[in-house]
Amino acid sequence: MKIRNIAIIAHVDHGKTTLVDQLLKKSGTFRDNEQIEERVMDSNDIERERGITILAKTTAINYKDYRINILDTPGHADFGGEVERIMNMVDGVLLLVDAYEGTMPQTRFVLKKALEANVKPIVVINKVDKSTARVEKVLDEVIDLFIELGATDEQLDFKVAYVSALNGTSSLSPDISTQEESYDKIFDLIIDEIPEPNVNINGNLQFQPALLDYNEFVGRIGIGRVKSGKIKVNEMVSCIRLDGTIKQFRIQKLFGFLGLKRIEINEAQAGDIVAIAGLSDISVGETVCDIGHEEALPILRIDEPTLKMTFMTNDSPFVGLDGKLITASKIGERLFRETQKDVSLRVEQSGNESWVVSGRGELHLSILIENMRREGYELQVSKPAVIIKEIDGIKYEPYEDVQIEVPDEYVGNVIEALGLRGAKMDNMTNINNLVRLNYTIPSRGLIGFSTDFMTMTKGYGIINHTFKEYMPQESIEVGERKLGVLVSMENGKATAYALGNLEDRGTMFIEPGTEVYEGMIVGECNRDNDLAINVVKGKQLTNTRAAGSDHTVVLKRPRPLTLEYCLDYINSDELVEITPHFIRLRKMILNTDQRKKFDAKKAA
């Protein structure tokens, strides 16, 4: 069977996973009576809830005499390292672009990686059925982006397809009336345009994992393309480690992909995308070879972490009331297990009950926290901080490309806010009554910004950012919240009476009946200083006052707290307490008197 290996790349939310759904359905890979969910490749609960792809997924379809291996890649900047490594596994890409939004920051990032890897592109313009679609202008934007990224004449000679992945229609013409309920033209385009793998079936074995998976029975599983030769189950092979040493091991299991299934196979050959098990600590970029014919492939670059956060065991008064996994040994074991399959994550023990966890961004780390929360863990985390590098005595910090789209009336506020955070404007354009702003900003300038941004644009603004490079650190103070917080000075249940009397002090995060403890943050102060308050105070009852009169208090709705909001919100003297069913904000020093002494000493 002839092989084609392709990846689907795009900006977040441009429809990659939905397109993969259609390719699977229209190819006849599923049986007629098989029940298929939407966004079937997003297998993780969080992926399905948020509508984003977190981990690259491998699938394959049979079409005519061809096996088309398809990799669905993440669109988020935090998971961009996977996109880069995947380019080593494929010979072509489908670059998917939204027919209204056009080229976005992540489109630039993924296309740059594809052009650098010299893989063949096919442009697919999605959502052409939308009334707001601007197909021809978007195609011009794509051509401009190719030219800007230094594409060769050959790369510029790309074919274009037009689809509505949601409706399951496609065409090779921009005319919407030509859309048909078949993807045969797309499949034929892939077969005709994407070259077959340039590999040597008769050579010595060379296999390089570009992605990792983890299984408790066999340890790490390396997923990659066989570059040369053949690989068989139970065969003894050599692995050239990243440090140059060689370790021999036996191939315990070999998996191929078809549809949604990972299928055990006995043999694979050059050009096949497979998963191998047998070496429990195999790493991305190592080379598996025939014994006696050890020849290493170039090591794959893995994106360095840019953001770090301290994870701690929960030491609040409510420890153990909600979660089952609360000990340092359980949390440490879980964090180190995550590094087995996530090569962009670093975990270092920093104390008996704390770990410094470094990742590619806030989303990367918050997904890990959310997964742990759902598994029954209780923990506390600190404010995220960027990782500073020192090169030749000069401090360097990560910078990001930011693209913002806002209605005209909010532009002034956004420009002013970004200026205070050290951002430099690169470009400003108008599209359909929206202003598109492009900036370069220090990564720390973005910490806590999304909350302010949503408030100042009344939720109408769209912000996207992607890592650019490390540049010399600038002396600008950013990242701390301006307003103070309301902190509980008592333990107990919040009362409507107390909350009603305190509403003019700020915005509450809790409602009557919420259990609180001393040092827990219960709201945002409307001044720039913290305020200790009593939210458990009850009404003094006498024979002339009825207890039931409490129910007439009408309170404003409390501000909802999500995990991302809390990580964005806290200052460096605060923590987020995370349990399976609760997310709380708290001060590091819980005792009110001790905290006041500490703050006074710091101010002096």
Claim to verify: residue 375 and residue 280 sit in the same structural domain: no
Structure tokens, 160: 């274009």
The distance between the two most distant Cα atoms of the chain, rounded to a whole number of Å, is 97
How far lies 411's CA from each of 415, 421, 435, 457, 563, in Å? 6, 16, 7, 9, 28
State the pLDDT at residue 112: 82
Claim to verify: residue 118 and residue 232 sit in the same structural domain: no
State the pLDDT at residue 43: 40
Structure tokens, 465: 């950012």
State the pLDDT at residue 541: 64
The per-residue pLDDT of the chain, averaged, comes to: 82
Assessment of whether the complete model's pTM goes beyond 0.85: no
Q: Of 369, 386, 403, which closes a domain?
A: 386
Using pLDDT thresholds of 50, 70 and 90, give the confidence band for residue 381: very high
State the pLDDT at residue 42: 38
Distance CA 106, CA 9 (A): 9
Q: Is the model more confident about 94 or about 75?
A: 94
DSSP 8-class letter at 284: T
State the pLDDT at residue 28: 64
Q: Is residue 477 part of a domain?
A: no
State the pLDDT at residue 584: 92
- Is the pLDDT at 536 greater than 70? The verdict is yes
Claim to verify: residue 381 and residue 413 sit in the same structural domain: no
159-164 and 267-269 beta bridge pairing? unpaired
| Residue 158, domain CATH | 3.40.50.300
Q: What is the average pLDDT across 112-137?
A: 86
- For tokens 């208090």, name the residue: 553
Claim to verify: residue 52 and residue 102 sit in the same structural domain: yes
- Residues in CB range of 412: below 8 A, 6 or more apart: none
State the pLDDT at residue 53: 41
Distance CA 355, CA 349 (A): 4
Instruction: Please tell me whether residue 602 adopts helix, strand or coil conformation.
Output: helix
- Residues in CB range of 554: below 8 A, 6 or more apart: none
Using pLDDT thresholds of 50, 70 and 90, give the confidence band for residue 379: very high
Q: Is residue 171 part of a domain?
A: yes
| Residue 259, domain CATH | 2.40.30.10
Claim to verify: residue 459 and residue 536 sit in the same structural domain: no
Claim to verify: residue 425 and residue 446 sit in the same structural domain: yes
Termini Cα distance of the chain: 75
Minimum mean pLDDT range among 6-10, 170-174, 543-547, 584-588: 543-547
Percentage of residues of the chain with pLDDT beyond 90: 9
Q: Is residue 12 part of a domain?
A: yes
Minimum mean pLDDT range among 120-134, 303-317, 451-465: 451-465
Claim to verify: residue 33 and residue 180 sit in the same structural domain: yes
User: What would the pLDDT profile of 30-45 be if each residue is shown by its tens digit?
Assistant: 444 444 444 334 344 5
Helices (H), 421-476: 449-456
Q: Of 193, 217, 234, which closes a domain?
A: 193
Claim to verify: residue 24 and residue 154 sit in the same structural domain: yes
Minimum mean pLDDT range among 19-28, 111-120, 275-284, 529-538: 19-28
Using pLDDT thresholds of 50, 70 and 90, give the confidence band for residue 544: low
Asked whether 204 and 233 are in contact (CB, 8 A), the reply is: no
Q: Is residue 318 part of a domain?
A: yes
Minimum mean pLDDT range among 76-80, 120-124, 446-450, 490-494: 76-80
Claim to verify: residue 14 and residue 156 sit in the same structural domain: yes
Q: What is the average pLDDT across 489-498?
A: 90
Number of Cα atoms under 13 Å in the Cβ half of residue 391 = 9
| Residue 467, domain CATH | 3.30.70.240
State the pLDDT at residue 585: 93
Asked whether 170 and 183 are in contact (CB, 8 A), the reply is: yes
- Is the pLDDT at 431 greater than 80? The verdict is no
Q: What is the average pLDDT across 313-330?
A: 89
State the pLDDT at residue 310: 92
Q: Is residue 297 part of a domain?
A: no
Q: Is residue 426 part of a domain?
A: yes
- Amino acid at site 494: A
Q: Is residue 267 part of a domain?
A: yes
State the pLDDT at residue 488: 92
| Count: domains in the chain | 5
| Residue 356, domain CATH | 3.30.70.870
Q: Of 386, 420, 439, which closes a domain?
A: 386
Claim to verify: residue 93 and residue 231 sit in the same structural domain: no
| Residue 598, domain CATH | 2.40.50.250
Find the domain containing 365 and state its range.
307-386
State the pLDDT at residue 553: 65
State the pLDDT at residue 32: 43
Q: Is residue 301 part of a domain?
A: no
User: What would the pLDDT profile of 4-27 be if each residue is shown by its tens digit?
Assistant: 888 888 876 667 677 777 777 776
Claim to verify: residue 215 and residue 138 sit in the same structural domain: no
Claim to verify: residue 377 and residue 419 sit in the same structural domain: no
